[in-house]
Amino acid sequence: METQTLIYLFVGVSFALYIGIAIWSRAGSTKEFYVAGGGVNPVVNGMATAADWMSAASFISMAGLIAFLGYDGSVYLMGWTGGYVMLALLLAPYLRKFGQFTVPDFIGTRYYSKAARVVAVICLIFISFTYIAGQMRGVGIVFSRFLDVPIFWGVIIGMGIVFIYAVLGGMKGITYTQVAQYCVLIFAYMVPAFFISYLVTGNPIPQLGLGSTVNDGSGMYVLETLDRVLVDLGFGPYTDGSKSMIDVFCITMALMVGTAGLPHVIVRFFTVPKASDARKSAGWALVFIALLYTTAPAVGAFARLNFVDTVNEQTYADAPDWFKNWEANDLIAFYDKNEDGVMQYRDGNAIIGAPVYAETSAAAGQRAVDNEPDMASENEVYVDRDIMVLANPEIANLPGWVIALVAAGGLAAALSTAAGLLLVISSSVSHDLLKSTFRPNISEKGELLAARLAATAAIFVAGYLGIYPPGWVAQVVAFAFGLAAASLFPAIFMGIFSKSMNKEGAIAGMVSGLAFTFIYIFYFKLANPEANVAENWLLGISPEGIGVIGMLINFAIAIAVSKVTASPPVEVRKLVDSIRVPRGAGDAHAH
Amino acid sequence: MDNENTPPPEAETSAAEDAYWRENIRLLVILMAIWFACSFGCGILLRDWLDQFMLGGYPLGFWFAQQGSIYIFMALIFYYVVKMKKIERKYDLDD
């Protein structure tokens, strides 16, 4: 069968599966809508958390990022997994014992303050929308590449699918669809990874393959070969990064703490039956995530090696098919600086800026670009990092069904995260703003309707951001993690571990951490991007890592303010005592 | 993290709960120290020095940063799950 037919088949079948699950598991009460009824098995919840967590960025972009960053890519690997240790040990079991529905719920109740709750809702909505815009764009891009439709229609189809299972099913629908999506995405990721690892090293397990010798008879290790090949071409060695140690440290920390403070991840631990299950569930989530995260660096390294092997010093006329496919999709460009018809791949930029394709062909038959060449470098190949995972099956010459599988996997990853984010936005609006702040007398039915309306509205906003991505979307992904680290995490952490933390301290801490981090990222990413170089950074910390300083400011201000203001009331101290012991978590959901 | 300067107005928790919480905190501190040591310690701060040793084809510091930390994170969580269950049973506070 043709690859394109297979893609339609795989994507169609997986979508039918998600919708079927959504109809089977639709939510009938607010408790089912917000926390899936609170009875999800911890292993199942771990799988759903993994799908929720691994977005289009993890599935499509991460291996490509690591392939080009080498050692520096470790910040994502450690950052996005280490946060689960913090979740399991420091947050999840206590939040589950608290037993309410949302993150602002905990902050509002623990700090006995509507103002604290509203500040938390604002942080949550801002973080979630920043994140979701990127997801919808991811859906659009994967669709347009694999289904051969314009990005606009790709986003519309994605919106329709998410609408059906998030609005109908709420948390209950999402949980079980995410389990299916996890299975699709991990299978889709592992199959080409096994193949490429086997082809390059003879060892099909990618985690072991990356530490093995290359299959070309030279007896050299993969990483050793990669280091040598890249240094020969003028790049830095693969196993050495270019970021400063303090920056690597801070970015890793900001990503870890941010992960532990991201509302759509935290809320998943409200759905298991017991406090001890929340710990167990965080462990399973990490196992399912680690399967992909320990594979990604291998995929990245193999793909980089293959890329250099098949492209460098190759005539354009004999370039492999995948090279021309991705060139046709605007993600690769060849600018023949020395006009020899052979592609020289070196360090540095081939052209200045992102390629602007002309309608004509250049001398060797490649697509001509209108960009100026960057004469400071001999490099002639422009390559978008995102193609590494998507092109992998083609680079390794895998059969059409594997390519179809990757298409279905990429869509599963983007859709599952988008749905999880939509849900925290809608629960915050209906539960925290409406029910707990402005309309306390609303009926259960009214609240459920409000949650569905809020989810619908959020889908339209997300779809709009996906179709017309404002230029700032790509610039501000750092916001989501930095702000979660600087605002929500410290407030939750101190709410559990310090009985004397009061509402004045918590609010002052959240506002100052948020304000500092926001202004720093805003200045370097949006207001004055030319100044975004290491010499101008505070202590040499990039905007990606600054959430750590925001977090420290949050802690310091909160503790200082709480020392000079009234202690929290006795009921609150009792609440903290009760969330610290696991007994009775099953009853907590009864109210 | 508790502020020792302002003692609670009355005894709010039972002796079993206090002892349980102290044991939990001790375990937390140990596990978080390992968490820090393997990721930030071996993967970042000591990476250059560790890279002189090889683990198969992996320079050791690079291995910690891109593979090892993740395996250790998983082990830490499951150890905590098992250990906490024991502590909860000991003080009769399990759920």
Among A28-42, A44-58, A75-89, A188-202, name the one with the lowest average pLDDT. A28-42
Domain membership flag for residue B72: yes
Is residue A478 over pLDDT 70?
Answer: no
Q: How many domains does one find in chain B?
A: 1
C-alpha distances out from residue A27 to A34, A36, A448, B50, Å = 9, 8, 9, 52
Whole-number pLDDT of residue A477: 62
Whole-number pLDDT of residue A505: 93
Among A82, A279, A574, whose Cβ lies nearest the Cβ of B39? A82
- Whether A85 sits inside 8 A of B17 (CB atoms) is no
Residues of B within 8 A of A222 (CB-CB) are: 57
Only one residue has tokens 């500092």, namely A516
Among A222, A283, A294, whose Cβ lies nearest the Cβ of B77? A283
Q: In sequence order, which residues have a C-beta less than 8 Å from that of residue A274 and are 6 or more positions away?
A: A96, A582, A585, A586, B95
Q: pLDDT grade, residue A474 (50/70/90)?
A: low
For every residue of A324-366, DSSP letters joined together read: HHHHHTTSEEE--TT-SSEE---SS-SBSSS--EEEEE-TTSS
Whole-number pLDDT of residue A256: 93
pLDDT in tens, A228-283: 888 887 788 888 878 888 888 999 999 999 999 888 889 888 888 888 889 999 99
- In chain A, the domains with their CATH numbers are 3-307+397-469 (1.10.4160)
Structure tokens at A178: 């995410």
Domain membership flag for residue B45: yes
Q: In sequence order, which residues have a C-beta less than 8 Å from that of residue A406 and are 6 or more positions away?
A: A188, A189, A192, A389, A390, A392, A393
Is residue B25 over pLDDT 90?
Answer: yes
Residues of A within 8 A of B45 (CB-CB) are: 245, 249
Domain membership flag for residue B5: no
Chain centre distance of CA A23: 27
- Whether B7 and chain A come into contact, CB under 8 Å, resolves to no
Q: What is the DSSP letter of A565?
A: S
Domain with B72, as residue range(s), is 32-92
* DSSP 3-state of A235: coil
Indicate the residue type of A303: A
Q: Which of B4, B77, B88 to mutate to test the interface with A (most CBs of A within 10 A)?
A: B77
Domain membership flag for residue B9: no
Q: What is the DSSP letter of A534?
A: G
pLDDT in tens, A80-127: 999 999 999 999 999 888 888 888 989 999 999 888 989 889 888 888
Give percent above pLDDT 90 in chain A: 17
Read off the pTM.
0.88
- B 62-81 residues inside an 8 A Cβ radius of A: 62-63, 65-67, 69-71, 73-74, 76-78, 80-81
Is residue A588 over pLDDT 70?
Answer: no
Whole-number pLDDT of residue A348: 81
Residues of A within 8 A of B9 (CB-CB) are: 570
Residues of B within 8 A of A67 (CB-CB) are: none
Domain membership flag for residue B47: yes
| Least Cα separation, residue B53 to chain A (angstroms) | 13
Candidates A347, A375, A388, A310; CA nearest to A236 is A347
Domain membership flag for residue B50: yes
C-alpha distances out from residue A191 to A188, A274, A288, B36, Å = 6, 36, 16, 33
pLDDT in tens, B54-70: 888 888 989 999 999 99
Domain membership flag for residue B2: no
pLDDT in tens, A159-184: 888 888 788 888 888 888 889 889 88
Find out whether A335 and A350 touch, Cβ atoms under 8 Å.
yes
Whole-number pLDDT of residue B26: 93
Candidates A212, A375, A205; CA nearest to A305 is A212
Residues of A within 8 A of B21 (CB-CB) are: 580-581
Q: pLDDT grade, residue B34 (50/70/90)?
A: very high
- Whether B95 sits inside 8 A of A274 (CB atoms) is yes
**Half-sphere exposure of residue A584, counting CA atoms within 13 Å on the CB side?**
10
Q: Output b/e per residue, A478-512; b: 16+ Cβ within 10 A.
A: bbbbbbbbbbbbbbbbbbbbbbbbbbbbbbbbbbb
- Whether B84 sits inside 8 A of A279 (CB atoms) is yes
Only one residue has tokens 């070309």, namely A216
Domain membership flag for residue B79: yes
Only one residue has tokens 């990606």, namely A544
Whole-number pLDDT of residue B36: 94
Whole-number pLDDT of residue A47: 93
